[in-house]
Structure 1
Amino acid sequence: MTAPRPQVDEPTDPDVDLHMPAQRRQSWREQLPIVAAVALGGGIGTAARYGASLLWPVTVGDFPWTTLCVNAVGCAVIGVFMVVISDVWAAHRLVRPFFGTGVLGGFTTFSTYAVDIQRLVDEGEARSGLAYLAVTLVAAIAAVWLAVTVTRRVLAWRQG
């Protein structure tokens, strides 16, 4: 049996934790700036992803390299961003929802990844679809880990 989570009112985080009574009580007016920041950032991130697809188009039947690279790059940027706002910079409360959830959430794409896998399978390229599924997961996790590791080392080197 696990111990119950303590009921502590901590400063409001942009991510809603319904275990925190203060966050359950937040009004729509208090949430509106966060929703607006995510929406604005999401539009920017989605436009950037679309721009990447125009710069590096993938024709029917080809391996979806653009989506794979966009997702890996987005994950690397998320790794750097989280280290910077967690360890270095006391960011404004809307920076994380705007850039982390909005821009990077709009830039990276699980839906296109899933559609690409389905398309490959439907075109008789099941092996490519499975490879794409696995390579994307490995690339995304490796990108976050590498970005976090390198960012922390660079920051320690600059401070030391």
Structure 2
Amino acid sequence: MRLMDHVHHAGWTDHASSPRVSAIVAVAAGGAIGALARYGVSRMWPNGGDAYLVWRRGAAAFPWTTLLINAVGCFLMGVLTISLKKRFTGASPLLSPLLGTGVLGGFTTFSTYTDDARRLFENGQPGTAVGYLALTVGASMSGVLLAVACVAGMLQVRRGGSDTSQGREGS
């Protein structure tokens, strides 16, 4: 039995070539790319065997690499979201699952973020841990907001100040 026959038999889809299977493949491929990119960044700036930029404060290294990865990933998610909504409205429906859920979901990391905070707490650095938690959320949210504002502004200027997406149904 072929792989797609198993997928069909398992009830994942009514047709082996459905958009649902295509989206799953897009997310998986994008996730692999994003995870490899995150791994590469974490190896470029290691601290011992851990994924940290080299900067020490007390017993534990501050997890700058994880913070950078999450902030950049959130900025790129903002760029992607507003670009697909305002500029590339006719793009393939697989672009968002591939780039958003897949690549950027694989690149950013909530689990490492929380484990980094746990390590800081365990090493007797509760203030640094709380600061790291707050700084990551603040930087990530700021990244999304900055990206949305920048891309929306660039699109507005490019169109001569008019937003052609206004007034469309579903916008």
Band the TM-score falls in, shorter-chain normalisation = 0.7 to 0.9
1:137 pairs with 2:126: no
Maintained 8 Å contact 1:58/1:65: no
What residue is the counterpart of 2:84 in the other structure? 85
Relative to structure 2, which stretch is displaced further, 105-114 or 26-35?
Answer: 26-35
Gapped regions of structure 1 (runs ≥ 5): 1-24
Displacement of 1:127 in angstroms is 0.9
Structure that is richer in helix per residue = 1
Maintained 8 Å contact 1:37/1:94: yes
What residue is the counterpart of 1:52 in the other structure? 41
Q: Write the letter of the residue equivalent to 2:43.
A: L
TM-score norm. by structure 1 comes to 0.81
Q: 1:103, 1:28 → 2: CA distance?
A: 26
TM-score norm. by structure 2 comes to 0.76
Aligned counterparts, 1:24-39, within 5 A:
27=14, 29=16, 30=18, 31-39=20-28
Q: 2:31, 2:66 → 1: CA distance?
A: 17
Give the 3-state SS of the residue equivalent to 1:58 in structure 2. Answer: coil
Would you say how many aligned residue pairs link Structure 1 and Structure 2? 136
Q: 2:44, 2:94 → 1: CA distance?
A: 30
Q: Write the letter of the residue equivalent to 1:104.
A: L
Gapped regions of structure 2 (runs ≥ 5): 1-11, 51-59, 161-171
Percent pairwise identity: 44
> Which is greater in Rg?
2
Q: Residues 114, 36 of structure 1: CA spacing in aligned structure 2 closer, same or farther, 3 A cutoff?
A: same
Q: 2:13, 2:145 → 1: CA distance?
A: 34
Q: Residues 27, 134 of structure 1: CA spacing in aligned structure 2 closer, same or farther, 3 A cutoff?
A: farther
What residue is the counterpart of 2:55 in the other structure? none
Aligned counterparts, 1:1-160, within 5 A:
27=14, 29=16, 30=18, 31-59=20-48, 61-89=60-88, 90-160=90-160
Displacement of 1:159 in angstroms is 1.5
Root mean square deviation of aligned Cα: 1.5
Give the 3-state SS of the residue equivalent to 2:61 in structure 1. Answer: coil
